[in-house]
Structure 1
Amino acid sequence: KKVYKNLNRPIAIMMDIKGPEIRTGEFQEAQLTKGELLDLTITTNLKIEELNNDTIKKVSINYPEIINDVHINDTILVDNGLIQLKIIEKHKDYLRCEVLTPGLLKSNRHVNLPGIKINLPPLTDKDKKDLIVAIEENIDFIALSFVRESNDIIELKNYLKEFNYHPKIIAKVENQSGIDNIDSIIAESDAIMIARGDLGIECPYEKLPLIQRQIINKCIDHYKPVIVATHMLESMIHAPVPTRAEVTDISNAVFEQADCIMLSAETSIGQYPLECISVMKTISLEIEAASPRSYRHNIELHLPKNKMLRSAVVLAQQLKRACIIVFSHSGASAQLISSLRPTQIPIFVFTDSETTFKQMRILWGIQPYKITFNPDRNITINNALQELINSNIMQKDDYAVILTNIIVDQILVETIQLRRLIS
């Protein structure tokens, strides 16, 4: 916050809470070989030497209910799928597994149970402690990991209501349960993140592109922002340039019209964080510039005033040099017009709310501005136009398709105005 204030460049902040995850415990790292036996134990109070002093290696995990959730011949994946295990025996306090894929097993590695519903609560004690920081700092977005059903989102919202804190909730879809319940999760969430790291482990990798496209389209149809995340530029953690496959991956997400594409390890621990941002920006701008003028005709807009948004898009796209200007306190109109995905048309949304201003930053195609709304609508419009002129965004002979409301005979009337800049 100090940095963006110093730079006078307000940004939105998202907190990613860990959610219900299964991990290995603390132990001395060990090399596993194919065909070797490994015991996964739920006894967490063993000392490190006790875990490693037997002929069969033992590894503790933090989820006691795993014994009841899994079956013989089920697959367990460790460390983002690098180590693959098959359950061959079930006992009261441990699972005996056969190592199918060899590798170096380390402490605190993530454990995936593909296709198996786990019974962990959606919010852990650590999540609740982390959320206190979010509340104190008034964080704009909360991303909940491993969302399995809409009730997970409801539980988070109810917890935050106790503190009178209402951020936008982003559901991270990372497992098969999340895919199975995607419609209700989209309906309950404010946005969706396609977290392809764990999702690519939990689901067959060949289906991941289809799942990504399906979720993106569903989110657009329901006016919800969607983020594509994980492994976008994985090679650039250590390399200064992307692979050609990564360039194509980013391009596909832009072609599919995701609202956001997200960097993770590339900028948090990578050696080339600024280069990653530059690469992603360059690719996105190139792909968007090549897109023909169009919009999503199949988006259903039910209210008459919302149908006006479609009319504004059609009008702006038929004019040679035009932009769309929207005035919105809540950002709802911005979200709707963003879902229409009108290409080659800049959309400027002016709001008097600091919260709305920041939360609109994840919306496709939206450039938000914060201004003071004047009781005289015409003064507000002129102030907005002057802001765009001063920023060299609008020039002489440009058209502005303006969506606002005016008062006529003490009745609030929704309007579309067409203005041409003549000086």
Structure 2
Amino acid sequence: MIPFKNWKRRTKIIATLGPATESGEKIFSLIEKGVDIFRFNMSHGNPNWVREKVGIIQEFSKRLGKYVGLLLDTQGPAIRTGDLPDPMQLKPGDIFTFTVRGEKIEDLHSVSVNYDDIVNDIHVGDVVLVDNGNIQMKVISKEKNLLRCEVLTAGVMKSRRHINIPGVRINLPPLTKKDLNDIQLGIECGMDFFALSFVREANDCDLLRQILISKGSQGKVVAKIEDQLAVKNLSQIIDSSDAIMIARGDLGIECPFEELPIIQRRIVKSCIQKRKPVIVATHLLESMIMNPAPTRAEITDIANAVYEQADCIMLSGETASGKYPLECVYILDRVAVRTEKSGGAGYASLVELVNDEEKLAKIAVHLADDVGSPAICVFTRFGHLATLIAGLRPRYSIIYSFCPDEEVCRKLTLHYGVEPCLVVFPKSQEESIEMVEQHLKKKGIESGQKIVLISEIPLRGERDRYILLHQIH
């Protein structure tokens, strides 16, 4: 029997914390409604705020008996405008000047920029996008400390707006001083995942990993793909990171918009082929920041990400500052569950299996799919076997990962279909079966249903590996 009756969502939900969700009551409700990982956007928030919210999440996670991951998202080397006394109304044809190195001018329309070398990196004729592309300009001339542009689209220039320069390599370090301080804070708070903004090449990920290792952190490196250079170096970045985030906000500005769906599909497919977790982020339910119901296009967008079998879908402003954060999580859950039942894109069939452990995982998934098993139960020390099985995208099974380490359990929250369970390892196969039966019955799996057990733990003094098809009594 195909186990659609009590279907549990496989796609993980990441929610960004902010003013709309910072209260203990909201955090508790978000976990209760299905949030798997909380994101801390370090473009906002301060260290005391982060420490306080981490403590609250950890408390409620234990109270609800659910492991919840923590993700620190670095601000990265963003180019931003400076402060303005008042917003400026711009219209097409206006001349606008960006200044650097403290240059003072009397132009009617001008603002400082926090990146001194922007004049050197950019060329006459390049396009400058301000405030998520809401204002478009073309460079018409440049001097030592001045960059003059012609306004192409009407808009309002405000303080501290983000600047994108599509196709231009910016010579900024991958980690700023602020990023390094925030990473240290994340290590102290026990963050599980560290998202690196504006990744350009594999070496950026290697640098972050070296920092984490040098400070004794086992945090995972999440590379954010958000410009053309990252797309160009995608294969190497996937190899050097632990996970990928498709940051569609900046990516959609940096790349032609008609290319964005193709790039997203390519990234998801490549990650699944290489068994690296992939997060689809930004604008999933953007309209619900202000409105109580989603657009039909947003529902389709979510369903597409779920159908492609991304590991996670992420909410940003929807939960950080929106009016309806709990409703957004409810809608993601509802759409994901329905889409998962209908099947997926099948990219996992392209995974190449190399060693015995990978082939063992494939056998377990094939067996579970063949009998319609609602559960694959994995006994694993460090979570690797569970992530292998998750990467193969079982059709009907939740992957229950029995593990003796809480930190490993939290890191498994990123992976498709994995539900971590903290246990003391059993000493025999019989004890394993008994432990599994007790756990699964609490999860609603009924007598008569067939489950698959797979183990990498030592039994009877040896490193025995086994796959077992078992019928719940």
Range of TM-score over shorter length: over 0.9
> Among 12, 30, 35, which residue is 2:93 paired with?
35
| Residue 419 (str. 1) matches residue 465 (str. 2) | no
Which residue is equivalent to 1:139? 191
Instruction: Name the CA shift for 1:34/1:9 in 2 (closer, same or farther; >3 Å).
Output: same
Measure, in 2, the Cα distance between the counterparts of 1:169 and 1:20. Answer: 17
Number of aligned pairs?
415
Q: Which moved more, 1:394-403 or 1:377-386?
A: 377-386
1:87 counterpart residue number: 139
Q: In the alignment, what sits opposite 2:301?
A: 249
Whether contact under 8 Å (1:77, 1:111) holds in the other structure is yes
| 3-state secondary structure, aligned to 2:349 | coil
Conservation of the 8 A alpha-carbon contact between 1:291 and 1:344: no
Q: Structure 1 residue aligned with 2:70, among 6, 10, 13?
A: 13
Is this contact kept in 2: 1:194–1:228, CA < 8 A? yes
Between the aligned partners of 1:398 and 1:67, the Cα distance in structure 2 is 66
Please show how residues 16-165 of structure 1 align to structure 2 within 5 Å.
16-28=73-85, 29-44=87-102, 54-165=106-217
Task: State the identity %.
Answer: 43
Instruction: Tell me the CA shift for residue 282 of structure 1.
Output: 0.6
Amino acid at match of 2:88: A
Counterparts of 1:111-260 in structure 2 under 5 Å?
111-260=163-312
Alpha-carbon distance in 2 for matches of 1:371, 1:109 = 49
* Paired position in structure 1 for 2:352: 300
Could you tell me which amino acid in structure 1 is paired with residue 455 of structure 2?
Answer: T
- Give 1 or 2 for the bigger CA radius of gyration: 1
- Distance in 1 (alpha carbons) for counterparts of 2:345 and 2:377: 18
Query: For the structure 1 residues 416 and 60, does the alpha-carbon distance in structure 2 shift closer, same or farther, using more than 3 Å as the test?
Result: same
Contact 2:269 2:347 in 1 (8 A): no
What do residues 64-106 of structure 1 show as CA deviations (whole Å, max 9, x unaligned)? Answer: 1111111110000000000001000010001111001110000
Q: Choose from 380, 395, 398 the match for 1:343.
A: 395
Cα offset, 1:349, TM superposition: 1.3
- Letter paired with 1:162: S
Distance 1:155 1:302 in 2: 28
Query: Relative to structure 2, which stretch is displaced further, 282-291 or 218-227?
Result: 282-291
Q: Say if 1:134 and 1:408 are closer, same or farther in 2 by CA, change over 3 A.
A: closer
Q: Which of 326, 329, 341 is residue 277 of structure 1 equivalent to?
A: 329
Q: Is the 8 A contact 1:361 1:367 kept in 2?
A: yes
SS at match of 1:384: helix
CA distance in 1, matches of 2:460, 2:218: 36
Look up the equivalent residue of 2:188 and give its one-letter code. E
Inter-CA distance 330–374: structure 2 relative to 1 (3 Å threshold) = same
State the shift of 1:43 in Å: 2.9
TM norm structure 1: 0.94
Structure 1 pair 230–379 and aligned structure 2 pair: CA distance change class (3 A): same
Q: Aligned in 2, Cα 1:37/1:289: closer, same or farther, shift over 3 Å?
A: same
Using the TM superposition, give the Cα deviation of residue 287 of structure 1 relative to its aligned residue in structure 2, in angstroms: 0.7
Deviations 1:276-309 (A, max 9, x none): 1111111111111122797833211111232111
Structure 1 residues 405 and 217: CA distance shift in structure 2, 3 A:
same
Equivalent AA in structure 1 for residue 410 of structure 2: K
| C-alpha deviation, 1:337, in angstroms | 1.0
Distance (Å, rounded) in 2 between the aligned partners of 1:293 and 1:192: 19
Higher RCO, 1 or 2 (CA under 8 Å, sep at least 6)?
2
What is the CA–CA distance in structure 2 between the aligned matches of 1:292 and 1:123, rounded to whole Å?
37
Give 1:7 shift: 3.5
1:114 match: secondary structure: coil
- Relative to structure 1, is the Cα distance of residues 108 and 257 closer, same or farther in structure 2, using a 3 angstrom cutoff? same
Aligned to 2:47: none
Quote how far apart the aligned CAs of 1:161 are.
2.4
User: Distance in 2 between the 1:353 and 1:130 partners?
Assistant: 26
Distance in 2 separating the partners of 1:261 and 1:11: 15
Q: Would you say the 8 A contact 1:292–1:344 is kept in 2? A: no
Q: Quick one: distance in 1 between partners of 2:134 and 2:197?
A: 21
Say whether the 8 Å CA contact 1:293–1:343 is kept in structure 2. Answer: no
- Which ranges in structure 1 are unaligned for 5 or more consecutive residues? none
Identify which of 359, 362, 374 aligns with 2:426.
374
Equivalents in 2 of 1:108, 1:150: separation in Å? 29
CA–CA distance in 2 between the matches of 1:75 and 1:12? Answer: 39
Report if aligned partners of 2:381, 2:457 keep a CA contact under 8 Å in 1.
no
Report the CA distance between 1:265 and its aligned residue.
0.1
Q: Deviations over 1:330-386 (max 9, x none)?
A: 111111111111222222111111111111111111122111113335323421321
Contact 2:226 2:248 (8 Å CA) reproduced? yes
C-alpha spacing 1:294/1:34, structure 2 compared with 1 (3 Å): closer
CA distance in 2, matches of 1:344, 1:175: 36
For the 8 Å contact 1:42–1:64, the answer to whether it is kept is yes
Q: TM-score, normalised by structure 2?
A: 0.84
Structure 2 residues without counterparts, runs of 5 or longer: 1-57
